[in-house]
Chains A and B, each alone.
Chain A
Amino acid sequence: MKFRWSVLLFLLAVLAAPSLLAAQEANLTACVDTYDAAVDYFPEKAAVTDAVGFTVEYFNNYKVVTVATPWQGAEEPIQYVLVQCGTPAPEGFADVPVIEVPVQRMIGMSTTFLPHLVSQNLLDQLIAVDSTMFTSTPEVLAKFEAGELPEVGGGGSGTEPDVEQIVDLEPDLVMEQRFSAEDANFAILEQAGLPVVLNADFLETSPLGQAEWGKFISLFFNTEAQAETIYTDVKTRYEDLKALVADVADKPTVLATTPFGDTWYLPGGRSYLAQLLADAGAAYLWADDEATGSLFLDFETVLNRAAAADFWVNTYQTTMADLLAADERFADFAAVENEAVYTNNARQNANGGSEYFETGVANPDIILADLIKIFHPDVLPDHEFYFYKSLSE
């Protein structure tokens, strides 16, 4: 539909203004000097296939982006109008934030944005981050170490962003995650008149859907073409890996994560991790659960169901000694005895930030490959673990 519209517009433009025929084969990386209403300024468009959290609608000189659920429990979607720089903003979007694209100065407030920015060659446009404490992406760290990337997060998890510094940096875009309606940081930034955009990648429950948020980022930089290529590669690899184990008869049973104190926060049966486990040809023991978020179960309940589980993955601890030091009763799980325990935190930076939660978001195919290697080692004999490692090593 959209495609047909744009073809029609293109044809109209060809008919009306033959002089512009040669223009606009790719999205612009700069502003338009002379605006022509008949020109489609975004010939490269993003098509959202797996993510359910955002949609985009293209017009000649602007895009309308809709984030369906900007935060957990949000009742209304939120919209942004992305206008090609050098062209007039459209009428009829009085209450909708308008962002001029391509963005030249972006502040990223979450580490999950960083791999996308790097892969789309947007590191120059990243002018500040909230904190590099838990950052793993080496290109970003290098820029920080060169003194070219200020931190504006305020220093900790409970902290307010440093609004003064952010305003002083004159960003075109502040991309932020809002975790709840009560999350005050968003309001603080918005009140300061900053161009704040909410990214809800963390609410996406499918691994591919989460990775597709790379396209969301591309919308702001007119880098849809790169994003499409990258995502298609990831998706192809993911689907191929999935197909390798789709028909395995023997699906090992799996337990996941470690408890905080008495309570075991288990991923729900419809969660991100549950899907990865299913796609990796494993039988997650709570797969029948309907929750997309976490389950809060006590140790006893988990032990009762998972004492004989074949595998235990995504432990916080990275060695068997640490695991048993945390609670010697973990030894009651057969997976511990069989040395079938794997952590997803093989790659941590000096501050304990795990690369799994950063690079993994953009590269679910690597996570899937790791998991398949764990559950069905004969299927991927040559694969080297990336995010995962055995606690027995």
Chain B
Amino acid sequence: MNHSSLIAHSPASDLATGNRQLETSLSTHHLTIGYRQGRRPPRVVAADITVALQPGELVCLIGPNGAGKSTLMRTLAGMQPPLSGSITLMGADLPTLTPRELAQHLSIVLTERVDVGILPAYALVALGRYPYTDWTGNLSPDDEAVIQWAIKAVGATDLAARSVDELSDGERQKIMIARALAQEPDVMLLDEPTAFLDLPRRAEMMQLLRHLARDTHRAVLLSTHDLDLALRSADQIWLLPKGGNLQAGAPEDLILSGAFEAAFRAEGVTFDAYTGAFRMNTPPAGVVSIIGDGLPAVWTTRALEREGFCAVPNNPTAAIRIEVLPNLWRITANGETQEYRSLYEVIAVLRS
């Protein structure tokens, strides 16, 4: 599906972005986030955050659980006051905006599954027009146009007439994004929008968000656990490790600076800067010599590494040797040789 062709010529992209200057959408200045707790000193989650979000940018906020991703999102959305520092939204100091102004600049999508009862998806998206309609909530033709544009932009035209409670998680998430889009915000904040989706849907969602950001000149900030996808899709990564020392930059910058590896090392995960992949830290179970090459050898190595073995090519001194043949694995250990038809069997034997 080609979102960009749809979006680029949509009425709303003109309606919404026509008079937009290319200024920073959202920025923070020495922001400290956390919780006030009455008379006791406040609990600081992260301190001294100075970052900026540009129009058209897709930014992924990543970090281990408990590092304060949600707190940061809530603070940026104006739902929770910062402990100190400032947030600037479209050139205005965040606390000075009225709720309605804030809603016209910034929209959110949450992880939680909303249960709205019996409501067609179209009506749910229409709720995004809340900051623009009068007290009756009547939709003007312009409002309707924006709603329909938003539904199209997320590729949910066929869902519009269906009741929200009949939608799958992925379809529902699309509708929620369309709703956030119908708010015509400058900044969209999404809290783990891919959490309940299967792998293909996650990639599709990330793709969609990236296109939305680019083509509508909106800034999109999303928090995610999907590191791999974030590294591939984000213009900017905000990396929030435990301890709250947030680092921002292009994904590749953070890899090269070692920030990535440092952030996740404490979590028992090793980041391999060469492959851009994460590995579990498990104590070595032994050295295995791999004899063979090509794709079968690569995946045999992966399987062994998962089990904690150190796989080396053609090492005659290793206690265990595996000869990789087409659809056949020949294992020599303790002078005995056995043959297996699948890697599953090989792993099972080595584990015992």
State yes or no: do A and B touch (Cβ within 8 Å).
Answer: no
**Residues in A lying within 8 Å of B, measured CB to CB:** none
Interface residues of B (CB under 8 A from A): none
